[in-house]
Amino acid sequence: MRLTERLSRLGPDERRALAARLPELPAIARRLWTMSRLAPDTGLYNVVEAHRLRGELDVAALTSALDALYSRHHGLRGLVVELDGTPRTARAPAAEGFPLTSVDLSALSPSEAEARGDEAVTEFARRPVDPSQEPPVRAQLVRTGEREWLFTVVMHHLVCDGESLHVFYRELADLYGGREVDRLPPVPDPSAAQRSLEGPAHAAKRAADLENWRTRLADLDRIPPLPTDRPRSGRQGFEGARHTLALPPDWADRARAAAAAHSVSLFDVVLASWAVVLGRFSRSEDVVVGTTVSMRAEARATDAIGFFMRTVPLRLRVDAERSVRELLAGAHGTVVNALTHSGVEFDEIVRVTGHTGTGTAPLFQAALELHHDGEPPRFDGLRVEPLLVESTSAAFDLTLHLSTDPRTADFLEYSTELYSPGTAASLGEALGAVLAALGDRPEEPVGALPVLGPGGAARVERFAEGPALPAVL
């Protein structure tokens, strides 16, 4: 019986008693939960990791390692129970074990097993995870040959952030290799760690942070929305796709060199580059980009699996007459301000500014995530290769995902309701041009940075004439 069906059979007294026992969902996770309920039939908030395993896989050892993690990390068993409109947290029983599905295609021909395996991974990755009905994690192991497997893990974003994946695979590899679970470092309760970010002790800082955001975003109405290929429908949709970027393998090394030369961070350089692209194509010198900041250090949750991210809007001036050096300094100041005032939830920032969005995400439509991917998981006796799983959803109009690891694909996630593949490709090309030029021309005006190739000026003029981006910029 599904969890909602069981709850529907409870009487008023039983519901009140249950609500008294279950703590409310921590504030840091509430917006994510609310947003996931707006798109319940999509995999919008699925966090997917897929790998090809080659070698002598010990399936029993892998299953045992997954079960040990499932018992050890409460976040992997986290459920959300809606009682009288209030989301509350519960846990699935550890004794049920990590939800693992096995598929054996090894009897098929190699080509058919490969094709069927890819289909199985894609279907498994896209199927929504609903923590109100089932555990927020699941795994699938597809055997495609005598010594070859496809291993896919899906987690709901509500219980997982980037660092969670590092913890998960590091410990999974240790346990698979025979390390005893009691020799792993102690794990904090993720819900308790999340709640440590709330409460009266943070009241003074929260007030100062909210005032900072109210002032910094006061006149946001004058920034035009991002232009689109197709008209907005009046509601925010979540259908999307990814365009893989053709950035040079050493782009991160070159960007780090530029950052060091200007005493800023790698993220500052990437933010400035993305803002130049967005500003040029929207014909605006005022750009807002959303990103996330980790609160793990503040929550003392380094080794926990859970969601410890806060969303912040980064407002940046992209004045065509300012020098690249000034642009980078401005980006650095913007990022430092956001980190300093990250003590409030994004919904609180939205409320204090009054910019709730009309048919778009509030405060920003373009986002940026810089991923510092580590080594792929290492399982004893196995060769591990990451697999790229295509997405069919998009949380924002445009989200740029860059990785400092050259083995990981960089991509632009875009709303297919608003943009064509050609537009996404052009924006990706423009980003590559700006990243390449930014470090070499510190005193050059921002307006002189090359964004478009031959014939680009004419395309910009055509773009300026209408409300939407052309199919090819």
Question: What confidence score (pLDDT) does residue 359 get?
Answer: 65
Residue indicated by tokens 């950052």? 259
Report pLDDT for 453.
Answer: 56
From 384, 407, 366, 367, select the one nearest 252 (Cα to Cα): 407
Model pLDDT for residues 354-389, shown as the tens digit of each residue:
887 666 788 999 999 999 876 678 899 999 998 989
User: pLDDT digits over 189-225, tens only?
Assistant: 999 999 999 988 788 899 999 999 999 999 888 888 8
CB atoms within 10 A of CB 203: 9
In 327-388, DSSP assigns E strands to 366-371, 382-387
Q: Do residues 342 and 295 touch, judged by C-beta distance below 8 A?
A: yes
Give the integer Cα–Cα distance in Å for 155 and 464: 42
pLDDT score at 11: 66
Q: How far apart are CA 293 and CA 433, in angstroms?
A: 27
CA distance 12 to 15: 5
Closest CA to 411 of 395, 396, 390, 387: 390
φ, ψ dihedrals at 336, nearest 5°: -60, -40
pLDDT of residue 374: 65
Query: Residue 9's pLDDT is what?
Result: 64
d(CA 368, CA 293): 11
pTM across the whole model: 0.90
d(CA 158, CA 161): 8
Q: Provide the token pair at 308.
A: 């410890």
CA–CA distance, 47 with 30 (Å, rounded to integer):
17
In 3-state terms, what secondary structure has residue 52?
A: strand
Domains, the chain, in order of start with CATH, read 3-187 (3.30.559.10), 202-464 (3.30.559.30)
- Catalogue the E-assigned strands of 56-118: 78-83, 86-91, 100-104
Residues of the chain with confidence (pLDDT) below 70: 1-11, 13, 357-359, 374-375, 452-473
At residue 460, the pLDDT reads 43
Q: Enumerate residues 6+ apart whose C-beta is below 8 A from 61.
A: 176, 178
Q: Are 279 and 467 in contact (CB under 8 A)?
A: no
